[in-house]
Chain A
Amino acid sequence: MANTNTETDEPTDADSDGDRWDPIRVSGRWTFHLKAHVTVLLIVVVSEFIGTQTYPVGPGQVVILPMLYAVVFGMLLGYRVLGAYIDELRSVVPKEVSEISSPLIVVALMPLGVKYGTLVAPNFYDIIGAGPAFLLQELGNLGTIFLALPLALLLGLKREAIGSAVSIAREPTLGIITDLYGPDSPEGIGVLGTYLTGTFLGTLFFGILGGLAPITGLHPRAIAMACGMGSGSMMTACAGSLATAVSSVPEDEILAFAATSNLLTGLTGVYVVLFVGVPLINKLYGVLEPIIGRN
């Protein structure tokens, strides 16, 4: 699998080393580490101090969790956002802080993983009971192909549509498509588009969607399963907002269902994309492109 060496939500290259982890090396880089972690500490303290806010929107709720403030504050402070205009800020939060932060996402996911484990286990028997739904809803991830591919073709995209619409494109998909077609191919550009959009907007998007989705009348348990789409932070924003917005299902159960679904996506996602998603979207592209493709 290609070594993506980019912002990673979860590591997918079990045998990768060197580049991706290098920024966590502390020796000789104390100042940069201090700047990075103190900045994060301040973001966390401010975000937690503001706390969870809920705003009723029609019959649903927009839930703003502390983690959503944290991602926005982090983006704003970055050296290419406000730092690009404010020199003083860029000296406090330089490029090195962003480089250190990238592998730290994976490290910081460990406490969350443990908490999810402690939520899954007590709901073990419920989860076994819902086993068939868990396994089949994995195929729902292919729903993206039927919805997004026609849209991509209507927008005038060509082979870029393959990469962009094949899946929600977290690291495993990015690796597969890059491996199959090459990073500079149209397919590679397409998958990068979905990957980066998820990286920038995924948490905010799913954080808001998780609180609003009950409006559709879907059961919170079904929505919780849908939250586990393959990224730890997107799932957490989605399930956290959902749990805050609904009272008919206990919070722990919603989080446990989301975590289990996410765990299964981690186990099966690569194979579903490789053996089902890629052949399916290529076939569908062959059928649809002559009909609705634009020149």
Chain B
Amino acid sequence: MDRTDFVTNALAMLVVVGVITLIGNTVGYDAGIVESIPGIVLIIAIGIVSLYLAREIPLELPSFAYAIFIAMVLALPFSPTQEVFLRYTDRISFLATATPILAYAGLSVSLQMDRLKQIGWKLVVVAVFVFFGTFFGSAIIAQTVLSFQGII
């Protein structure tokens, strides 16, 4: 897919996701659709830039990281954009943006059913221990350092 094709199709998909998010935001968090539109437009704009940057910049960085980073810069306490940016994006609930991702993720999982069946139960057991190990490994180190610093 060439660059122009990618940008137009990705933008179309971002608009679709934006509409789904707006509706979910209304159903789950009682936000008005119309007053949430400026926020979703800002989100779509940052989204397309992030997808584009991840594709063009030869770093192993996910577009998700670019999106966090750009929004963070716009919302920093000393950014002149902070007040306006937060006022509009605040109308979109954090959890409302997560639900569509997981719906797409659930649907796409079917593509990998056969591969999972081949993998075998032993690797699934090991993976569960990997989850525990990563989670508690990080949490215990964080706990130690934070209490050493006197933050908690």
List the interface of chain A (C-beta within 8 A of B). Answer: 1, 6-7, 9-15, 17-18, 21-22, 24-26, 33, 36-37, 39-41, 43-45, 47-49, 51-52, 65-68, 70-81, 83, 93, 95, 97-99, 101-122, 124-125, 129-130, 132-134, 136-148, 151-152, 155-157, 160-161, 164-165, 167-169, 171-172, 189-190, 192-194, 196-203, 205-206, 209, 213, 216, 218-219, 221-223, 225-227, 229, 232-233, 236-238, 240, 255, 259, 261-263, 266-267, 270
Ranked 4 nearest A-B pairs via Cβ: A74-B106, A143-B137, A117-B71, A113-B67
A109, B97: Cα distance in complex, Å:
8
Besides A74-B109, A193-B123, 7 other A-B contacts (C-beta < 8 A): A7-B109, A137-B145, A143-B141, A147-B132, A148-B133, A197-B119, A232-B62
CA separation between A226 and B136, bound complex, in Å?
Answer: 7
Q: Is the interface of B mostly helix, strand, loop or mixed?
A: helix
Residues on A with beta carbons closer than 8 Å to the beta carbon of B113: 78, 80-81
CB atoms of A79 and B110 under 8 A apart: yes
Given contacts A49-B28, A196-B115, are A11 and B63 in contact (CB under 8 A)? Answer: yes
B27, A111: Cβ atoms under 8 Å? Answer: no
Chain A residues in 8 Å Cβ range of B143: 218-219, 222
Contact for A263 among B68, B82, B120, B139, CB less than 8 A: B68
In the complex, per-residue mask of B74-114: 1 if CB is within 8 Å of any chain A CB, else 0: 11110100100110011010111111111111111111111
For residue A146, which residues in chain B have a CB less than 8 angstroms away from its CB? 133, 137
Contacts of B115 in A (CB 8 A): 192, 196
- Among A6, A80, A119, A213: residue with most chain B CB under 10 A: A80
Cβ-defined contact, B47 with A110, below 8 A: yes
Contact B109 A78, beta carbon cutoff 8 Å: yes
Chain B's closest residue to A22 (CB) is B1
Given A25-B1, A111-B18, are A155 and B126 neighbors across the interface (CB < 8 Å)? yes
User: Is the Cβ of A101 less than 8 Å from the Cβ of B120?
Assistant: no
Q: B106 contacts A122, CB within 8 Å?
A: no
A193 touches B124 (CB 8 A): yes
Q: Determine whether the beta carbon of A141 is less than 8 Å from that of B137.
A: yes
Count chain A CB atoms within 10 A of each CB in B123, B132, B137 and give the residue with the most.
B123
Among residues of A, the one whose C-beta sits closest to the C-beta of B47 is: A110
The answer to whether B112 and A202 touch across the interface, beta carbons within 8 angstroms, is no
